[in-house]
Structure 1
Amino acid sequence: MNIAVVGAGPAGVFTADIITKQFSQIEFPVRVDLFERLPAPFGLVRYGVAPDHPRIKAIIDSLHNVLDRGDIRLVAGVEVGTDISVENLQDVYDAVVLTTGANADAPLPIPGIELPGSVGASKFVSWYDAHPDAPQHWTLDAEQVAVIGAGNVALDITRMLAKHAEDLWATDIPNHVYGILRDSKIADVHVFARRGPAEAQFSPTELRELHEVRDVDIIVDPHDMVFDRSSEELMKSSKQRRLVAETLVEWSKRDPSTFTASRRIHLHFMQAPVRLEGTTRVDGKCQGG
């Protein structure tokens, strides 16, 4: 049996792995070809994880082990839909499995979102991970940046913007990214979450890593630490939500007079943007509700 798996990210590699192992158990011959548009495999593990997260990028080692076995053939640099169609694959293979994942940002339908200076997270992450499709140049000339969202990607972006570039030098950060971050004028990064602290999708580990960033103060407004009945129930049922909420409450109790760092991360809750202001570009005014 011949099977084509489209997409060589973690989902594609592990799908190919499961297929080959399942058929080997019943001693049925199978050939799996793994198609990838980019010249290198591993998808978002390679191009979607911040360079200062080596323990997450270590997943690549296990993916390498799967491909190094020799029973899965990688066909890189071939775009299904352009270089070859799904119909062509169906003519040649007994089965075609699509594991291409999400490669675009969810839209944020508010006025002004299209202004220069407003950028989707996937584009920024692709830039600092040197994705082949991303431009090498990026303009970081603002002193304040708003990050909209309350998940781990938002934390990755926030940490990359707030860190001093020299603290990234020991990672595998690309040279052109290092140079632009080194010259960045950013002093404040504001993270906006639509819901409350108990509903934030941060993982406790990722959130606590913010506190480890050198010369950065984390500012949480104590007035944002509001927990209604549904929040209380959520924290009772989820240890992760409880740990996140406890960390945020702890940070909100800090004395502002102790903040002395040259850069700051502000975590805002129960604030959703309704409009970005500006004419030729975002001018730093964001109206929320």
Structure 2
Amino acid sequence: MTRNKLRLAIVGAGPAGIYAADILLKAERNFDVSIDLFDHLPAPYGLVRYGVAPDHPRIKGIITALREVLDRGDIRIFGNVRFGEDISLDDLKRHYNAVIFATGAVHDSSLNIPGVGLEGSYGAADFVSWFDGHPDVPRTWPLEAESIAVIGNGNVALDVARMLAKHVEDLMVTEIPDNVAAGLGESPVTDVHVFGRRGPTSVKFTPLELRELGELRDVDMILADEDFDYDDAARAAVAGNKQVFVIDKVLQQWRQREVGEASRRLHLHFFAKPLEIVDDGSGRVSAIRYERTRSDGAGGVVGTGEIREIPIQAVYRAVGYFGSPLPGVPFDERLGVIPNHEGQVLLRDPDTGESRQMYGVYATGWIKRGPVGLIGHTKSDAMETIKHVINDLGNWWTPEWPSEESVLEMLDARGIAYTDLDGWHRLDQHERSLGEAEGRVRIKVVPRDDMVQVSRGEA
């Protein structure tokens, strides 16, 4: 059977989905391509818009690159369309030759220690969604604690710690939503404690993120001398890895700072393995209990048996993201990904246990490989997946209604208030105008209904 056109659906309009679309359109191939992007949010860009702290200027460059891809006009986008509710895998089979899932990972990984369910214990992903103005989380956040713990030594942990410790006045030049600014402005926080079970030379955050932490106004950086008694393995890491060298240099500079004058303090606790979030007797967080660890000489750590406890009233768990299952699509519950081979989704036979390719279904981004890696990894990830989409043309689906108009007819018939690229431009301009009135780049519209109404020109 001759194939002269690929009708492709991509579920997820974040970087992974947009890069996949762009790479396919630029790839060498012997058929035409028509691509539709679907996202459950009314606006595109995924975690770039809703998963990164608003005071990251470098994110603007990423959004600019993504905007340029969409603004070419050769990719359609349908926002405010929920896969599994508004459309199904069977729907996609009726209208497309194949689908790529690029839905990312937006929920917190679990932390299996006692006390995670106490009042005052929060997942970092939920907090990030709140301060980024995600439309599907509550408008308010309980910011009542004076002393707060953040568990994790990655970039998300640093984002959370920085947003908790930073004075809200210094965030008003960003696109922070009004409800978030109001909430942070009422926070009584004085101390933020960041816990990581490994040493300073084994952290997972990047030098840029770390530097930003040390630039906070009226915030003292507190480090313990005992964490910097390096062994041979740590010294070798500093000498042999440029990123570790820079991180160590930043931390050593902080150790030399005078402290004691700031109104807020940010404590970095290394070699600290959380054991328990302590109950105050009424179901609320009252302390964090941890074990002091030490280097094992080979890049890992072992417990020392020394148990310590610090009083806190809230804890944020920033131990990683985890993917979510999609209706009709295989899912690995242990890894939080769609099982795949280089992006080709695999279906496991329940009788034999063997896996076979699920033709027409692909994955890219974090839902494919897990929540690791930066934007560069996302691009190479998409290239690998697109290579198989092209080479698998003999196994593409044969849709009943492949016309582009048939998708619009389906969405309209179901009464789905979808948003499109023109709608995103309207929302984008509206947010910019809100910001301009206050001397800011933009102020995000938060309620989903408001986003949809502005996008569809109904506001």
Same fold at TM > 0.5: yes
Counterpart of 1:287, as a letter, is R
Deviations 1:191-243 (A, max 9, x none): 00110000011211211112211101000001011333333333333211121
- The residue aligned with 2:149 is 146
User: In structure 2, how many angstroms separate the alpha carbons of the residues matched to 1:75 and 1:166?
Assistant: 36
Deviations 1:60-97 (A, max 9, x none): 11111111111111011111122222233134221111
- The residue aligned with 2:285 is 283
Structure 1 position 54 matched with structure 2 position 60: no
Contact 1:37 1:78 in 2 (8 A): yes
- The residue aligned with 2:437 is none
User: In structure 1, how many angstroms separate the alpha carbons of the residues matched to 2:140 and 2:256?
Assistant: 40
- The residue aligned with 2:260 is 259
Shift of 1:249: 2.6
- The residue aligned with 1:209 is 212
User: In structure 1, how many angstroms separate the alpha carbons of the residues matched to 2:145 and 2:77?
Assistant: 42
**CA separation of 1:86 and 1:227: change in aligned 2, threshold 3 A:** farther
User: In structure 1, how many angstroms separate the alpha carbons of the residues matched to 2:239 and 2:65?
Assistant: 35
Shift of 1:280: 3.5
Matches within 5 A, 1:115-264: 115-255=118-258, 258-264=259-265
User: In structure 1, how many angstroms separate the alpha carbons of the residues matched to 2:76 and 2:15?
Assistant: 15
- The residue aligned with 1:108 is 111
Counterpart of 1:167, as a letter, is D
- Secondary structure at the aligned position of 2:41 is classed as coil
Matches within 5 A, 1:33-112: 33-112=36-115
TM-score, reference length from structure 1? 0.94
> What is the aligned-residue RMSD (CA, Å)?
1.5
Structure showing greater relative contact order (alpha-carbon pairs closer than 8 Å, 6 or more residues apart): 2
Does 56-65 or 10-19 show the bigger shift? 56-65
Q: Count matched residues.
A: 285
Shift of 1:27: 5.7
- The residue aligned with 2:342 is none
Counterpart of 2:275, as a letter, is V
- Secondary structure at the aligned position of 1:3 is classed as strand
Structure 1 regions of 5+ residues with no counterpart? none
User: In structure 2, how many angstroms separate the alpha carbons of the residues matched to 1:208 and 1:38?
Assistant: 32
User: In structure 1, how many angstroms separate the alpha carbons of the residues matched to 2:133 and 2:282?
Assistant: 28
**CA separation of 1:128 and 1:281: change in aligned 2, threshold 3 A:** farther
Shift of 1:143: 0.4
Contact 1:13 1:63 in 2 (8 A): yes
Q: Which runs of 4+ in 1 moved over 6 A?
A: none
User: In structure 1, how many angstroms separate the alpha carbons of the residues matched to 2:248 and 2:113?
Assistant: 29
- Secondary structure at the aligned position of 1:2 is classed as strand
Does 178-187 or 81-90 show the bigger shift? 81-90
Identity percentage of aligned residues:
51
Contact 2:42 2:80 in 1 (8 A): yes
**CA separation of 1:96 and 1:243: change in aligned 2, threshold 3 A:** same
User: In structure 1, how many angstroms separate the alpha carbons of the residues matched to 2:205 and 2:260?
Assistant: 23
- Secondary structure at the aligned position of 2:55 is classed as coil
- Secondary structure at the aligned position of 1:195 is classed as coil
Shift of 1:55: 2.3
- The residue aligned with 2:11 is 6
Work out which of the two has the higher radius of gyration on C-alpha atoms and give 1 or 2. Answer: 2
